[in-house]
């Protein structure tokens, strides 16, 4: 699974995605909540800073841009300062705003949040002020939106409808947009509103309601996998959908297609703020499906992206690099740092695709001491990924004699794996690491400076393909042999 996720996320490309919906401006006013007002039982907020970000469909747009897509925005804004700020923020994020239609007299939807800071650190939302109009547009305005849609549809890969029930995506417009997309052989992904008649989404490719939205539509609570299956089946049949993705918070998401009907689990998270999680899920699904990804893999990626997002404050974006790091972290959590040689070769192949420098060293590491930890810090300074080739018990006996090692290979590997400076440990049986070096092909080979005269095993091979050999300074008087001899002398004295 991990290899497939990594391959998918590193090949998403930069698709153009038509994003239709309710674009909003989020305003965050931060201040120190120092005292209670004498005028009313409310905190006094001493403002320290004000931040603006894209909300609603705008949040999806910034998510898409952060993932490498080109979001083509279609919606309405007002002829006001908030509209100008929102457009500027979207452009700066990398979105195409040529489809944003200015409607005079209609305010740009904005949500102003007052955030109190306790002791200048702990954020707590105190209040929210909304400015909006949810009235339907005029017939002429709907016709203008539909014409822009037709023009943009020719240029894009996939369509997203982000519906907050703010008067834009009425039943007629939704149905026309979905029909036109189907005629153009374009997938349509819908993040539905909490209120309203879902029949307007009929014929779309995929719908992504959350647990609460789904429960409201189907008329029963989603508490179990069976509930999810029943609800997803009902939505798919009633709306003639190819796929249904019901997001289930910490449980993950329920996926229903013609081939699958199952919960796709997610990793438990420390949830800081759920704002924008649904937007992140929609964006990830869109870019994955635009890259011809299968539905299950797309949902797995959206679970990861949404999970990263909820650990941040506000509607924050998530990058491809963060998703990659999360996938690698999950894999290491399952497989650990200690790898077989074949598994390690596969892992390093992926790291090379990320343009990371592989550093290799080897040794017995029998009794780990300060000399070892300083040496491994030096290794870390030479590149991105540090691999330690660890002599097996049998090879240590060949090198050091029948009384060594003091600690067996499993204990030695566990100690090395616990060090932050080490990314991977692999055990080899030969007395020297040449065959292992030939399999791993490191970019940098590190040995202690005491090997200068003895000759570094693997030097010629590493240098033959442009790699380099580096000699690390040693900590004087620190070695496993010296440590063991000192322990023996203390034992004799006692």
| 279 noted as active-site residue | yes
- The stretches of 19-153 forming alpha helices (DSSP H) are 57-66, 81-93, 139-153
Q: What is the DSSP string of 98-117?
A: EEEEEETTSPPEEEEEEEEE
Handedness of CA 233, 238, 242, 248 (dihedral sign): negative
100: which 2 tokens? 């944003």
CB-based contact 54:82 (threshold 8 Å): no
158: which 2 tokens? 């996939």
Q: Which of 63, 227, 279, 443 is catalytic?
A: 279
73: which 2 tokens? 């925005």
396: which 2 tokens? 């240590």
Place of tokens 């200068």: 452
Handedness of CA 420, 421, 423, 428 (dihedral sign): negative
Handedness of CA 378, 383, 387, 390 (dihedral sign): negative
> Strand pairing partners for 116?
31, 124
CB-based contact 45:24 (threshold 8 Å): no
Least Cα distance to 2 among 325, 252, 287, 318 occurs for 325
Helix (H, G, I), strand (E, B) or coil at 50: strand
- The CB density around residue 341, as the number of other CB atoms within 10 Å, is 14
* Catalytic residue positions, numbered: 279
């Amino acid at each position: 699974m991990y290899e497939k996720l990594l391959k998918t996320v590193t090949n998403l490309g930069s698709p153009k995605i038509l994003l239709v919906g309710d674009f909003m401006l989020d305003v965050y006013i931060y201040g120190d909540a120092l005292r209670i007002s004498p005028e009313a039982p409310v905190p006094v907020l001493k403002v320290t800073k004000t931040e603006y970000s894209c909300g609603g469909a705008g949040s999806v747009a910034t998510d898409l841009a952060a993932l490498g897509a080109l979001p083509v925005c279609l919606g309405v804004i007002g002829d006001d300062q908030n509209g100008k700020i929102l457009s500027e923020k979207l452009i700066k994020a990398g979105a195409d705003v040529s489809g944003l239609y200015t409607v005079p007299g209609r305010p740009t939807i904005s949500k102003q949040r007052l955030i109190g800071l306790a002791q200048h650190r702990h954020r707590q939302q105190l209040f929210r002020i909304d400015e909006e109009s949810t009235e339907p547009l005029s017939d002429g305005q709907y016709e203008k939106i539909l014409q822009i849609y037709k023009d943009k549809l020719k240029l894009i890969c996939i369509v997203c409808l982000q519906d907050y029930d703010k008067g834009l995506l009425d039943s007629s417009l939704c149905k026309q947009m979905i029909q036109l997309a189907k005629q153009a052989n374009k997938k349509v992904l819908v993040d539905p509103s909490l209120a309203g008649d879902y029949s307007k989404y009929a014929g779309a490719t995929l719908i992504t309601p959350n647990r609460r939205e789904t429960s409201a539509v189907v008329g029963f609570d989603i508490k179990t996998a069976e509930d999810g299956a029943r609800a997803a089946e009902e939505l798919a049949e009633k709306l003639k959908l190819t796929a249904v993705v019901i997001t289930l918070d910490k449980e993950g998401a329920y996926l229903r297609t013609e081939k699958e009907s199952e919960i796709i689990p997610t990793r438990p998270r420390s949830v800081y703020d759920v704002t924008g999680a649904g937007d992140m899920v929609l964006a990830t699904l869109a870019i994955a499906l635009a890259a011809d990804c299968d539905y299950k893999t797309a949902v797995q990626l959206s679970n990861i992206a949404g999970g990263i997002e909820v650990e941040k404050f506000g509607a924050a974006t998530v990058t491809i690099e963060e998703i990659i790091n999360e996938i690698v972290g999950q894999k290491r959590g399952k497989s650990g740092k200690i790898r077989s040689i074949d598994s390690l070769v596969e892992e390093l192949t992926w790291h090379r695709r990320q343009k990371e420098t592989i550093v290799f060293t080897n040794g017995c590491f029998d009794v780990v001491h300060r000399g070892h930890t300083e040496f491994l810090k030096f290794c870390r300074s030479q590149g991105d990924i540090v691999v330690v080739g660890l002599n097996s018990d049998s090879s240590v006996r060949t090198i050091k004699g029948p009384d060594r090692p003091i600690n067996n290979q499993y204990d030695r590997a566990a100690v090395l794996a616990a060090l932050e400076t080490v990314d991977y440990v692999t055990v080899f049986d030969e007395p020297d690491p040449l065959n292992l070096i030939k399999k791993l092909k490191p970019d940098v080979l590190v040995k202690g400076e005491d090997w200068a005269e003895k000759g570094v095993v693997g030097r010629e091979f590493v240098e033959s393909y442009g790699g380099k050999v580096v000699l690390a300074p040693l900590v004087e008087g620190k070695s496993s042999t010296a440590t063991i001899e000192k322990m023996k002398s203390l034992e004799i004295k006692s």
